[in-house]
Structure 1
Amino acid sequence: MKALLIKYKSVIRFIITFLGVYAVLTMGYNVYLNMSDGSKYYPDYLTHLVAEQTTLVLNSLNYEAEILPHPNEPSLKIIINKKYVARVIEGCNAISVIILFLSFIIAFAGKLKTTLFFGLAGSIIIYAFNLIRIVILSVGLYHYPWRREILHNVIFPMLIYGTVFLLWMIWVNRFSKKSNG
């Protein structure tokens, strides 16, 4: 058993670090959500921000877009040209995806400065890509509402997680200490 632990020491360290960072960041995010009272920024600040930015982009693309609080659940309705097309819930703000991304980056850490920079840059890329994803999804649902299931449940998750996977591969192959020896 001891020989196996020694042989797989780096794998065990990666798993423990990944799970530890993931747990700490997830608990911190849950504390943030529980502290959010939703009075000014409904349902919480980050979800509200994503919805606001989505409408800004949609309006810049010559759609008449607005957000309204959903009357029955903690979400915001996206309205395009007076038509309700989608809702933005807490899970749409990409924070859980960013937590997953950062947990991996930290578990496969490189130099401190490089790790911090790549973590920040990757988080911004994921956030921006998620915002674009919601805009395209909203437009898609406006024009092709019968494609809701494939757009929301297949294509767009594949794209966001594909982006995270590509960022991980860039990290492992170019910047982490594990890839450099």
Structure 2
Amino acid sequence: MKDLFIKYRLVIKFILTFLLVYGILSFAYNYYLDASKGGYYYPDYITNLVANQSKNLLENIGYATQVIPHPDEPSMKLILEGKYLARVIEGCNGMSIIVLFVSFIIAFSGKLKTTILYLLSGSVLLYVVNLLRIVILSVGLYHYPWRKEELHTVIFPAIIYGMVFLLWMFWVNRFSNINK
């Protein structure tokens, strides 16, 4: 049994570290969401910010856009050229993906300074890519409404999860201590 533990020590360390960090960050994020209920920003500050930044990006590329609170659920209605296209919900704000990204990087940590810089730059990149995917989905839904299922269930997740995967692979192959 001891030999087996020694043989898989790095795998066990990765799994335990990942689960611990993911659990702590998920708990903190859920606490933030609970604390946000009934606050000034609806549905929560980050979702509100993402919805409004998506609106600004859409306006910058020439689409008349409105973002208004949904009256019946905690989300923001995205209206493009007068047409209600989508809801920006908490799951669209990218924070759950960033928590997943951060947990993986910490579990495969490298040098402290490099790890912190990569966490910050990767999180910012994921946030920006998330905004861009909302813009792409919105424009796609506006011009190709019959492709709603493909856009939302295939293209939309592929963009953000593909970026997370690329960032993870770059980290593991370039900066992590796994091969050291």
TM-score where L is the length of structure 1: 0.97
Alpha-carbon distance in 2 for matches of 1:39, 1:175: 40
Q: Deviations over 1:50-72 (max 9, x none)?
A: 00000001111111001011121
The one-letter amino acid paired with 2:80 is: I
For structure 1, the residue ranges without an aligned partner over 5 or more in a row are none
Distance 1:144 1:39 in 2: 36
The corresponding residue for 1:58 is 58
CA distance in structure 1 between the aligned counterparts of 2:159 and 2:138, rounded to whole angstroms: 15
Secondary structure of the structure 2 residue equivalent to 1:130: helix
* 2:45 corresponds to: 45
> Distance in 2 between the 1:34 and 1:95 partners?
15
Residues in 2 aligned to 1:47 and 1:104: alpha-carbon distance in whole angstroms: 23
CA distance in 1 between partners of 2:120 and 2:62 (Å): 32
Shift of 1:156: 1.5
Matched, 1:142 2:156: no
User: What SS class does the counterpart of residue 84 from structure 1 fall into?
Assistant: strand
Deviations 1:12-58 (CA, angstroms, capped at 9, x unpaired)? 00000000000000000001000003442110000000000000011
Deviations 1:83-111 (A, max 9, x none): 00111000000000000000000000000
Q: Which moved more, 1:44-53 or 1:151-160?
A: 151-160
Partner Cα separation in structure 1 for residue 26 and residue 4 of structure 2: 31
- 1:158, 1:140 → 2: CA distance? 15
Partner AA of 2:174 in structure 1 = R
Q: Which residue of 1 aligns with 2:176?
A: 176
Residues 1:84 and 2:84 aligned together: yes
Q: How many residues align?
A: 180
Q: What residue ranges of structure 2 are gaps of 5+ in the alignment?
A: none
Which consecutive aligned stretches of 4+ in structure 1 deviate over 6 angstroms post-superposition?
none
**TM-score (structure 2 length as normaliser):** 0.98
Structure 1: distance between partners of 2:159 and 2:111: 29
In structure 2, what is the Cα distance between the partners aligned to 1:108 and 1:94? 21
1:81 Cα deviation after fit: 1.0
Equivalent residue for 2:124? Answer: 124
